[in-house]
Chains A and B, each alone.
Chain A
Amino acid sequence: MNTDIIIAISTLGILGLIFGVVLSIASKIFAVEVDPKVEAIRKVLPGANCGACGFPGCDGLASAIAEGRADNNACIVGGAEVAEKVSKITGGNASGIEKQVAVVYCQGDCDLAKKRFIYRGIEDCRAEMILLGGSKACTFGCLGCGTCVEACKFDAINVIGGVAVVNKEKCVACGKCVEVCPKGIIDIAPYKMNYHVKCKNTEKGKDVKNVCEIGCIGCQLCVNNCPKQTITFENNLAKIDYTNCINCGLCSKKCPTHAIPLQEKEKIEKIAN
Chain B
Amino acid sequence: MSITAILISTILVNNYVFAQFLGICPFLGVSNKTDTSLGMGVAVTFVVTLASIVCFFIQKMILDPLGLAYLQTIVFILVIAALVQFVEMVLKKTTPALYSALGIYLPLITTNCVVLGVAIQNIVAKYDLIQTIANSIGASIGFTLALLIMAGVREKLELADIPEPLKGFPITLLSAGLMSVAFTGFAGLV
Interface, chain A (partner B; CB < 8 A): 7-8, 11-12, 15-16, 19, 22-23, 26-27, 29-32, 56, 60, 122-124, 127
> Whose C-beta in chain B lies nearest to the C-beta of A18?
B82
Q: Which residues of B contact A124 (CB under 8 A)?
A: 159
Query: CA of A138 to CA of B163 in the docked complex: distance in angstroms?
Result: 32
- On whether the beta carbons of A11 and B89 are closer than 8 Å, the reply is no
A11 touches B93 (CB 8 A): no
How far is B68's CA from A124's CA once the two chains are assembled, in angstroms? 60
The proximity string for B residues 55-91 relative to A, scoring 1 for CB distances below 8 Å and 0 otherwise, is 0001000100010100100110011001001100110
Give the 8 A-B residue pairs with the shortest CB-CB distance, closest first.
A30-B93, A19-B82, A30-B89, A122-B159, A26-B89, A32-B92, A26-B86, A32-B93
Residues of B within 8 A of A22 (CB): 82, 86
Is B160 on the interface with A (CB-CB < 8 A)?
Answer: yes
Q: Which of B58, B75, B82, B90 is packed against the most chain A CB atoms within 10 Å?
A: B82
In angstroms, Cα B74 to Cα A182, docked, is 54
Determine which of B68, B75, B92, B160 lies in contact with A7 in the assembled complex, contact meaning CB atoms within 8 Å.
Answer: B68
Task: Report the minimal beta-carbon distance from A8 to chain B, rounded to whole angstroms.
Answer: 6
Please, how many angstroms separate the alpha-carbon atoms of A8 and B62 in the complex? 11
Give residues 38-70 of B contacting A (CB, 8 Å): 58, 62, 66, 68
Determine whether B100 belongs to the interface, using a CB cutoff of 8 Å to chain A. Answer: yes
Interface majority SS (helix, strand, loop, mixed), chain A = helix
Q: Tell whether, in the assembled complex, residue B159 and residue A27 are in contact, meaning their CB atoms are under 8 Å apart.
A: no
Which residues on B sit within 8 Å (CB–CB) of A15? 58, 62, 75, 78
B: which residues have CB within 8 A of A? 58, 62, 66, 68, 71, 74-75, 78-79, 82, 85-86, 89-90, 92-94, 96, 100, 159-161
- Chain A residues with CB under 8 A of B74: 12
Given known A11-B62, A11-B71, contact A19–B78 (CB-CB < 8 A): yes
Neighbour of B66 across the interface among A7, A60, A122, CB < 8 A: A7
CA distance A26 to B91 in the complex (A): 12
With A and B bound together, what is the CA distance between A158 and B92 in angstroms? 43
| Contact present for B90 and A127 (CB under 8 Å) | no
Residues of A within 8 A of B160 (CB): 122
Would A8 and B86 be within 8 Å (CB), given that A15-B62, A30-B92, A124-B159 are in contact?
A: no
Interchain residue pairs with CB less than 8 A apart (21): A7-B68, A8-B71, A11-B62, A11-B66, A12-B71, A12-B75, A15-B75, A16-B78, A19-B82, A23-B89, A26-B86, A30-B90, A30-B94, A32-B92, A32-B96, A60-B100, A122-B159, A122-B161, A123-B161, A124-B159, A127-B159
Say whether, besides A15-B62, A122-B161, A23 and B85 are in contact (CB < 8 Å).
Answer: yes
The distance in angstroms between the C-alpha atoms of A22 and B78, with both chains bound, is 13
Other A-B contacts than A32-B96, A123-B161, 8 sampled, CB-CB below 8 A, are A8-B71, A15-B58, A15-B78, A23-B82, A23-B89, A26-B90, A29-B93, A122-B160
Q: How far is the CA of A80 from the CA of B189 in the complex (A)?
A: 63
Evaluate whether A56 and B93 lie within 8 angstroms (CB atoms) in the complex, with A7-B66, A122-B159 already known: no
Give A122 to B71 CA distance when docked, in angstroms: 55
